[in-house]
């Protein structure tokens, strides 16, 4: 399975290059030949890589990245949210259905940054690039994608859990990553945040796969319609990427800016989920 993740990671890197090129030349609507040539691949190899990674052709994939698609999808998603979230955020049945339990640290653990807690962390390849993952006996406590700066990612992890007993184990980390991204195994999530932040993250867990929403709708969802900026700030402080799907929240205009782990990665995650939603 490790070979499968390596292949997907390599494919992700190629897709990221392609999307960057499309973003920079969007007004000219480049052809598949132009995109493939720009990233140093033949047209048919490019199409094959896309289909292996996403399951559809590049044209179908690219359509899901357009601004108009995002705007339309927000409208569709709002109705989905209205119907799927009417049981309320406090309902344990919804979290049980997702097979995910979000656990907040105690106030003491919050102050002490995980003191006396043993945390294992390590690096591994995912279908969306390399990642740093960390976990305790209670569950996953950090998942962050890495672009160019490994140290910056580690510094953020250390800022949150720096006082814990840290154990570096890449092999164990790869096992967790494989369970999450290949086997779709669900883990409890251990988060460190204020009550407000935890409530926002719980709301994110209730977003169905393939659905995008806006910061305003998230604020309405937690009954804080005037707290859009605070909601955006809480989303930005999410330290368990992908599993707490902060990438599914975009601006009302359809713009996809402000993702901690890169706007290109955010676009790929949204498009991938939209096409592969179950």
Question: Is 246 considered catalytic here?
Answer: yes
Residue extents of the structural domains in the chain: 2-63, 67-97+200-278, 106-192
pLDDT tens figures, 224-268:
999 999 999 999 999 999 999 999 998 877 667 778 898 888 888
pLDDT tens figures, 80-90:
455 444 434 34
Confidence of residue 14 (pLDDT cuts 50, 70, 90): confident
Domains 67-97+200-278 and 106-192 equal at CATH topology level: no
At the top level of CATH, which class does the domain 67-97+200-278 belong to?
mainly alpha
Let me know how long the chain is: 278
Pick the residue with more confidence: 6 or 99? 6
79 CB burial (10 A radius; 0-12, 13-18, 19+): exposed
CB 93 within 8 A of CB 139: no
- Assign 250 to helix, strand or coil: strand
> Does residue 175 have a pLDDT over 70?
yes
Q: What is the 3-state secondary structure (H, E, C) of 156-194?
A: HHHHHHCCCEEEECHHHHHHHHHHHHCCCCCCCEEECCC
Measured distance between the N- and C-terminal CA atoms of the chain, rounded to whole angstroms: 22
267 CB burial (10 A radius; 0-12, 13-18, 19+): buried
Least confident interval from 46-55, 57-66, 149-158, 245-254: 57-66
- Cross-strand pairs, 120: 135, 167
Confidence of residue 72 (pLDDT cuts 50, 70, 90): low
How is domain 2-63 classified at the CATH fold level? Arc Repressor Mutant, subunit A (1.10.10)
pTM of the model: 0.75
pLDDT tens figures, 113-172:
778 889 999 999 998 889 999 999 989 999 999 977 788 889 999 999 988 999 999 999
Which of the 8 DSSP states describes residue 15?
H
Catalytic residue among 246, 250, 264, 270: 246
Q: What is the pLDDT of residue 215?
A: 92
Which of the 8 DSSP states describes residue 132?
E
CB 128 within 8 A of CB 265: yes
How is domain 106-192 classified at the CATH fold level? Double Stranded RNA Binding Domain (3.30.160)
């Amino acid at each position: 399975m490790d070979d499968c993740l390596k292949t997907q990671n390599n494919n992700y890197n190629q897709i990221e290059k392609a999307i960057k090129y499309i973003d920079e030349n969007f007004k000219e609507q480049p052809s598949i030949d132009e995109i493939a040539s720009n990233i140093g691949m033949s047209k048919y190899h490019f199409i094959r890589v896309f289909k292996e990674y996403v399951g559809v052709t590049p044209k179908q994939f690219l359509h899901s990245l357009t601004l108009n698609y995002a705007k339309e999808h927000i409208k569709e998603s709002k109705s989905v949210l209205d119907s799927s979230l009417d049981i309320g955020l406090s309902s344990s049945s919804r979290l049980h259905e997702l097979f995910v339990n979000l656990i907040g640290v105690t106030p003491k653990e919050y102050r002490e940054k995980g003191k006396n807690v043993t945390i294992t962390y390590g690096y591994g390849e995912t279908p969306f690039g390399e990642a740093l993952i960390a976990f305790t006996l209670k569950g996953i406590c950090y998942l962050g994608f890495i672009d160019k700066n490994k140290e910056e990612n580690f510094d953020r992890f250390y800022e949150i859990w720096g006082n814990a007993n840290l154990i570096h184990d890449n092999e164990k980390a790869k096992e967790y990553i494989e369970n999450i991204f290949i086997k779709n195994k669900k883990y409890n999530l251990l988060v460190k945040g204020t009550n407000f932040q935890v409530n926002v993250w719980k709301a994110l867990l209730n977003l169905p796969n393939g659905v995008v929403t806006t910061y305003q709708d998230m604020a309405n969802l937690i009954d804080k319609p005037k707290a859009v900026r605070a909601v955006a700030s809480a989303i930005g402080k999410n330290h368990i990427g992908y599993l707490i799907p902060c990438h599914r929240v975009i601006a009302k205009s359809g713009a996809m800016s402000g993702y901690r782990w890169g706007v290109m990665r955010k676009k790929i995650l949204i498009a991938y989920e939209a096409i592969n939603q179950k």
